[in-house]
Structure 1
Amino acid sequence: MSLLKLIGVLLDYPRDELWEHGPELLAACDDPALAPARQRQLRGFVQALLDSDPLDAQARWLGSFDRGRSMSLLLFEHIHGESRDRGQAMVDLVDTYRRNGFELDARELPDYLPLLLEFLAHRPQAEARDWLHHVGHIAGMLAARAAERELPHAVLLEILVEAGDGKVNLALLRQRASEEARDDTREAMDRLWEEEAVRFGSDAPAQDCAPPRRSPARPSHPEVQP
């Protein structure tokens, strides 16, 4: 299993099948591209996940990535929000996938970070590094917020920043994250629902730009065809 595939699997919703592949996940942590300290951190993350109850791990994932928008794993959420530009960006990304033999499940959004990492795991190393460089600022901010919230996933996101040449000032992003108002509290989510009135006609956002709600029933990702 490649490093990018491993990080994508670990960032994704932890389906029950994950516990069946523990030895493979642990073996993949010894990737020579990682410094020994990172290998130990990654192995520690995997072992802690395997030692946890699946239902508890799934509940923690939902609480970490499915509450509020600041920790969303949908990349275009952080770039375009709910603007109409997001729809075209989705179309362009799907076209990129298809041109490289990567077909998506109809229920999956193309900008979902674990899905992008699965795609990049099958691309040439230089191309994958270039993609990671371009999304490094998003991965860096997610890493900073995860660290601020004491989420173990912070190490996964930091590894992605480093894989994209690491030209992101994580210390500065952590400072910024520490000053942000949390958007995953019950009070913050209640305010968000109150502020987002239903809009019709020309004022309504495009349907494909609406932020999705992740479901615990995670579909399997398709493989890249050779």
Structure 2
Amino acid sequence: MMTETTEYQKTLSLAAYLFAYPHAEWWAKLPACRQEAASLENPQNKQIILDTLDYIEIMGHKEYEELYVRTFEFSANTNLYLTMHDRTDFGKQAREMLEFKNLFLDNGYDLNKELPDFLPALLELAAHLSAEQAGKVLSRIQPKIELLRQRFVAAKLAHTFLLDVILTETDELEGATA
């Protein structure tokens, strides 16, 4: 059992949190997120996460919540369900969904509230695994994150930079376990 949280675990947990729905409890925990982000060693990741927190807090509860719903729940192009971006082949989508479900089950986790292709859930999964296992999970979803990033860029979303943080962590974990 890991006692001390490593850099990649903190980073992935923070990214997962910032991609989660902004309900009242979520807002209440933002100061703790800021403290956690300030403790990151990677200066670029630290700055991106702190800038994202600034962006969210400046926008405020109502406006950010509306942006979140419009962007991540109602948009087919920028939602956070990774199998939804290629909906031309529903058989393929079903197979991918099963693969994501197995990713959780194979690592000793099960989802009861979320679909297995939900980006924050996958990031949380990776944050709770060893570096080697986390690298495998992130490598598996990397092409989907890269596609999502392209769509975020086209939509001019500030959250694009959080995807950059995730891709940086993916590269570092792949390098550490190669």
Q: Under a length normalisation based on structure 1, what TM-score does the superposition of the two structures give?
A: 0.64
Question: Which residue of 59, 76, 86 maps to 2:66?
Answer: 59
Q: 2:103–2:137: 8 Å Cα contact kept in structure 1? A: no
Question: SS of the counterpart of 1:84?
Answer: helix
Partner of 2:160: 154
Alpha-carbon distance change, 121 to 72 in structure 1, aligned in 2, over 3 angstroms? same
2:80 is equivalent to residue 73 of structure 1: yes
Alignment partners' CA distance in 1, 2:20 and 2:89: 23
2:62 is equivalent to residue 48 of structure 1: no
Partner of 1:17: 25
Structure 1 residue ranges without an equivalent (≥5): 167-226
Q: Percent of aligned positions with the same letter in both sequences?
A: 23
Comparing 81-90 and 55-64, the one that deviates more: 81-90
Q: Alignment RMSD, CA only?
A: 2.2
Alpha-carbon distance change, 38 to 111 in structure 1, aligned in 2, over 3 angstroms? same
Bigger share in helix: 2
Q: 1:26–1:47: 8 Å Cα contact kept in structure 2? A: no
In the alignment of these two chains, the number of paired residues is: 163
Alignment partners' CA distance in 1, 2:69 and 2:129: 30
How far off its partner does 1:81 sit?
4.5
Q: 1:139–1:158: 8 Å Cα contact kept in structure 2? A: no
Alpha-carbon distance change, 63 to 127 in structure 1, aligned in 2, over 3 angstroms? same
Alignment partners' CA distance in 2, 1:20 and 1:165: 32
How far off its partner does 1:117 sit?
0.7
- 1:80-133 CA-to-partner distances (Å, cap 9, x unmatched) read 65512322332333233234331212x421111111111111011122123222
